[in-house]
């Protein structure tokens, strides 16, 4: 069962689990679990995608319940009328807010874009970065006797493929668990010392205007237990209480 964080007669939003594909793809023919098919069976209605999250990313995923609403929502995303807020755990200390304004070359998929006739384009990309917490742990993962990490709030102005992961790698603070653009030695160290096996990137908030009621719609997806387990180990509980879960399951997990 997916965690439905909002639903009305026009649209539905879920907290997408890390590791789930949004929909079926011939690129992943052996997968059997997908958000769209699971949600369709769960609510008994067809759903229409309007944006995407990478497979290892968790968080707010919005879908429409009709093609007309899907079209309106897709336009809202394309025209940057939605506000997306992510949280990430990265390597090293990030102590000052910044705006990462660094163009990125369009990423082509090795299989899906194998026969693309046009060269990749250079795309404008802007990400707002706000540090929330830092920590130093007495474990030697790299060449130093200790390891440093930061908790960040990221607000992308643009929506390029792997934008946040690539931008954080560009400023040499790769996201923990990023196998495509991150620090593989750091990733292995975090698995070994802190038992964190996932990409530490979460789509926490999605703010937009409802396409039918025209009222503000503010969607929030809480961190999953593996996320909170790392947050707890790093002493960052309480920094974003609206994203934390409470209860017997959480207490047992810790």
Residues assigned a catalytic role: 54
**How far does CA 119 lie from the centroid of its chain?**
28
Contact between 168 and 174 under an 8 Å Cβ cutoff? The reply is yes
Q: Select from 251, 210, 205, 208 the least CA-distant residue to 228.
A: 251
Q: Select from 130, 1, 126, 2 the least CA-distant residue to 61.
A: 2
Q: Which long-range contacts (CB under 8 A, 24 or more apart) does 243-248 make?
A: 243/87, 243/202, 243/204
Query: Which letter, b or e, does each residue of 87-117 get, where b requires 16 or more Cβ atoms within 10 Å of its Cβ?
Result: bbbbbbebeeeeebeeebeebeeeeeeeeee
The answer for residues whose C-beta is within 8 angstroms of residue 192's C-beta and 6 or more apart is none
CB atoms within 10 A of CB 69: 19
């Amino acid at each position: 069962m997916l965690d439905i964080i909002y639903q009305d007669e026009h649209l539905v939003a879920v907290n997408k689990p890390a590791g789930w594909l949004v929909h079926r793809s011939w690129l992943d023919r052996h997968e059997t679990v997908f958000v769209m098919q699971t949600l369709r069976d769960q609510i008994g209605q067809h759903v229409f995608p309007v944006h995407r999250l990478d497979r290892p990313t968790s968080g707010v995923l919005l879908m429409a319940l009709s093609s007309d609403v899907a079209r309106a929502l897709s336009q809202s995303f394309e025209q940057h009328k939605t506000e997306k807020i992510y949280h990430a755990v990265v390597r090293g200390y990030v102590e000052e807010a910044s705006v990462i304004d660094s163009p990125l070359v369009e990423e082509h998929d090795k299989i899906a874009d194998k026969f693309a006739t046009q060269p990749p384009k250079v795309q404008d990309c802007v990400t707002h970065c706000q540090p929330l917490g830092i920590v130093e742990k007495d474990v030697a993962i790299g060449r130093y006797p200790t390891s440093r990490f930061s908790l960040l709030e990221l607000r992308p102005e643009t929506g390029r493929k792997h934008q946040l992961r690539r931008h954080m790698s560009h400023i040499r603070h790769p996201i923990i668990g990023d196998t495509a653009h991150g620090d593989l030695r750091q990733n292995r160290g975090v698995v070994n010392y802190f038992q964190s096996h996932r990409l530490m990137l979460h789509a926490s908030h999605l703010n937009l205007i409802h396409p039918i009621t025209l009222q503000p719609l503010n969607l929030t997806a809480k961190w999953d237990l593996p996320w909170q387990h790392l947050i707890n180990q790093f002493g960052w509980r309480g920094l974003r209480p609206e994203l934390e879960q409470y209860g017997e399951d959480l207490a047992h997990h810790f």
